[in-house]
Amino acid sequence: MAGKIRVAFIGTGRISTLHQLYYQDSNEAELVAICDKNKGVLNKHAETWGIKPENTYVDVKAMLKRPDIDAVEVLTPHSSHHDIVVAACEAGKHVSVQKVPCMSVSEYDSMQAAARKAGVKLKVYENFQFHPPYRKALDLIANGDIGAPMAVNIRMWETLQGLSHWDVPITAWKWRISEKDNFKLPTLWDDGYHKHNIVNLLLDKRIDSVQAWRKKFRVYGLVPIDVPAVISYKTRGHEYGTWNVSMAQNLPIRSDYYGCEEAVEVQCEHGIIWINGCTGNMFMDCTCGPGAPGVHWLDKNGKWNSDCTMNTNWKYSFMACTKDFIDAILHDRSPYRSGDDARHVLQVDLAMVASLRSGFRDVKVDSITDGLPKNLAEMDEPVQEGDVVPSTPDGPP
């Protein structure tokens, strides 16, 4: 392909600012057009990113008609992904679609079929797998010195009024708490795709079944959302994983992005790996206790090792993830995630929702062949005594 790959964004919400970073200094690709229904947001980003007014659109179809656009990044709410992706493929554009790729397996299969028919790449944009500390952990596992992984445990903390984080307007919660766009699961469905994928990658095993439990935390004492929660993942062998997430109104978390932070523990046959930090900066300047951002591991000789030299800011995972999309186009290879791997993670996500809506039972991943079973669609989880966790009813700052 001669010259730079010319890319357009469809959707310019909050997350688009991280997607744009790679294109600022890339010699391989450039952002040439953007599309959003919200003209105010569209014009603001156009000015910031140096996009000329004639390259801004409120109509997706009009932008897709441009023959000089090689690829698009789809950054809209999940329920809109399928139609946009199919239209982009039919227009001959390579496509990167933000996780969660769509709302059902049949939608995903339709998107895949459209990409194959058009001969274009289709990438599910899951950036956590490119977070440098996670890549280091995967290298340690691949090296084999500490044996095969046996358990992966993700701990996540969320807060509404941390020490520093993005200013996300209340209006941005609208699609996140809707049934149509997010199964009313702003954390578990949306962020869950990241967590399921990381468990899958670190275990290096397909997830056979999922069991999910949750209660509800009231945002600003008003709107109940989908945490605290514990999600457990089982393979067909003895390997397993967990994702444990909780929230408080005022946790002292620093973050350049969302008000949350993660830590991951991986137990292998002959050693243990700790990965401190991802989305936030909670482990910055931690010279004692759990340690600084990076990777810490106990080797087979019982010796502690640490590597905190890699870039640990969350933005680098986005830059590497976008680079993977561009490299896949340039070198005619499959991007990560794509194909059956991305489909499997979508099935895990849907199995988690099915578990929540069926009395927290264990759900086989392969039992999910399309969307949610009809008897579970439009349902909420069973309400238990003490289901709602109270919070301080302070309004937004």
Are 254 and 280 in the same domain? Answer: yes
Lowest mean pLDDT among 50-54, 180-184, 382-386: 382-386
Residue 340 amino acid letter: D
Same domain, 273 and 254: yes
Residues 19 and 52 in one domain: yes
Instruction: Pull the structure tokens for residue 9.
Output: 């964004």
Q: Would residue 275 count as lying in a domain?
A: yes
Planar angle of CA 98, 179, 171, nearest 5 degrees: 70
In-domain check, residue 85: yes
Mean pLDDT, range 61-71, rounded to an integer? 98
pTM check: above 0.75: yes
pLDDT in tens, 101-135: 999 999 999 999 999 999 999 999 999 999 999 99
pLDDT (average), residues 282-303: 91
8-state DSSP, 165:
-
Q: CB under 8 Å to 287, separation ≥6 — which residues?
A: none
What is the reported pLDDT for 397? 36
CA distance 253 to 148: 33
CATH number of the domain at 175, please: 3.30.360.10
On whether residue 203 sits in a domain, the answer given is: yes
Same domain, 161 and 74: no
* Overall average pLDDT of the 33-53 stretch: 97
Specify whether 50 is located in the same domain as 174: no
Q: Write out the residue range of the structural domain in which residue 78 sits.
A: 5-125
The least confident of 182-196, 204-218, 381-395 is 381-395
Q: Given 313, 335, 361, which residue is the final one in a domain?
A: 313
Q: What pLDDT is recorded for position 141?
A: 97
Q: Does 39 reside within a domain? A: yes
Last residue of one domain, picked from the residues 252, 287, 313: 313
pLDDT band at 48 (very low <50, low <70, confident <90, very high): very high
What DSSP line would sit under 240-308, residue for residue? EEEEEEEEETT---B-SSSSEEEEEEEEESS-EEEEE-SSS-TTTT--STT-SSEEEEE-TTS-EEEE-
Q: Give residue-wise pLDDT tens across range 371-380.
A: 998 778 755 5
Structure tokens at 149: 């992984």
- pLDDT reading at 163 higher than 90: no
Number of domains making up the chain: 2
Among the listed ranges 56-60, 162-166, 177-181, 214-218, which one has the minimum average pLDDT value?
Answer: 162-166
pLDDT > 80? residue 230 = yes
Indicate if 82 and 221 belong to the same structural domain.
no
Residue 394 located in a structural domain? no
Of 277, 292, 313, which residue is a domain's last? 313
* Domain identity same for 193 and 305: yes
Q: Is 285 part of any domain?
A: yes
Mean predicted confidence (pLDDT) in 130-158:
97
359 within some domain: no
